[in-house]
């Protein structure tokens, strides 16, 4: 079965992808790029990580404008929840196009503001697809040890630059009604269409894959 892995340049999502590969899933990597805000570093890290994991297809979506629109139009404290919901909506659209059955994320409970239980419940309501979170309850040290063992840690370590527009004090107990009210300030369907239309596919050469 196929699944869409939401792949960032950080430590968690490559480990999540690896663990689901061990369960027999065939992965397509999807990366939301912040090129205007943070340069090409994040996308280049994802290319390396996809190669290490033996993932052949990397889908890259420019996401700067969507993030800026959240800042312009919505209550800033909900930025991360709104962003994650939009990512899942886009990933679902792509998954259906690709015949994929699952979405995979590197979410780790309580690690950042969007990854509290109340926020995850609200985020999950953005999609009808199953969202797999294989490292949800991992201790961070446990995840790092897996990353070191599978060879992704050296590429992933260092600060992530995906949250430059995020609030200093994000909401941690979001309510679905409040988030849906914020989304009404936006043309969410157009944001999804624009993202999918701008998506670029890259074929990863895995001849020298370090996949364990």
What residue ranges define each of the domains in the chain, with the CATH number in brackets? 2-203 (3.40.50.620)
- Nearest 5 degrees, angle CA 40-CA 96-CA 185? 70
CA-to-CA distance for 26 and 156, rounded, in angstroms? 22
Residue 145: its pLDDT value, please?
A: 97
In order of 12, 37, 41, 107, the CA distances from 65 in angstroms are: 25, 10, 18, 23
Contact of 108 with 10, CB cutoff 8 Å: no
CA-to-CA distance for 200 and 30, rounded, in angstroms? 10
Divide the 212 residues of the chain into consecutive groups of 10 and give the mean pLDDT of each group: 95 97 97 84 93 97 94 95 97 97 93 82 96 94 96 86 75 96 97 96 72 56
> What one-character DSSP code corresponds to residue 92?
H
Residue 207: its pLDDT value, please?
A: 44
Q: What is the pTM of this model?
A: 0.92
CA-to-CA distance for 5 and 45, rounded, in angstroms? 15
Q: H or E element: which one contains 59?
A: strand 57-62
Contact of 96 with 15, CB cutoff 8 Å: no
CA-to-CA distance for 125 and 143, rounded, in angstroms? 27
Residue 122: its pLDDT value, please?
A: 96
Block residue for tokens 């999918």: 196
Residue 167: its pLDDT value, please?
A: 85
Residue 196: its pLDDT value, please?
A: 96
């Amino acid at each position: 079965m196929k699944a869409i892995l939401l792949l960032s340049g950080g430590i968690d999502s490559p480990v999540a992808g690896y663990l689901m590969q061990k369960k027999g899933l065939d992965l397509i990597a999807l990366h939301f790029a912040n090129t205007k805000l943070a340069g090409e570093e994040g996308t280049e890290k994802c290319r390396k990580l996809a190669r290490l994991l033996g993932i052949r297809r990397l889908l890259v979506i420019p996401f700067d404008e969507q993030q800026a629109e959240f800042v312009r139009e919505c209550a800033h404290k909900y930025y991360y929840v709104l962003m994650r919901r939009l990512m899942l909506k886009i990933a679902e659209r792509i998954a259906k196009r690709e015949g994929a059955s699952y979405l995979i994320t590197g979410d780790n409970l309580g690690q950042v503001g969007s990854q509290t239980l109340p926020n995850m419940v609200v985020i999950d309501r953005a999609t009808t697809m199953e969202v797999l979170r294989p490292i949800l309850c991992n201790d961070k040290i446990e995840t790092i040890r897996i990353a070191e063992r599978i060879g992704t840690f050296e590429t992933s370590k260092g600060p992530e630059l995906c949250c430059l527009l995020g609030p200093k004090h994000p909401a941690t107990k979001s309510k679905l009604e409040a988030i849906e009210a914020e989304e009404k300030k936006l043309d969410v369907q157009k944001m999804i269409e624009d993202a999918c239309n701008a998506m670029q596919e890259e074929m990863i050469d895995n001849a020298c894959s370090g996949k364990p």
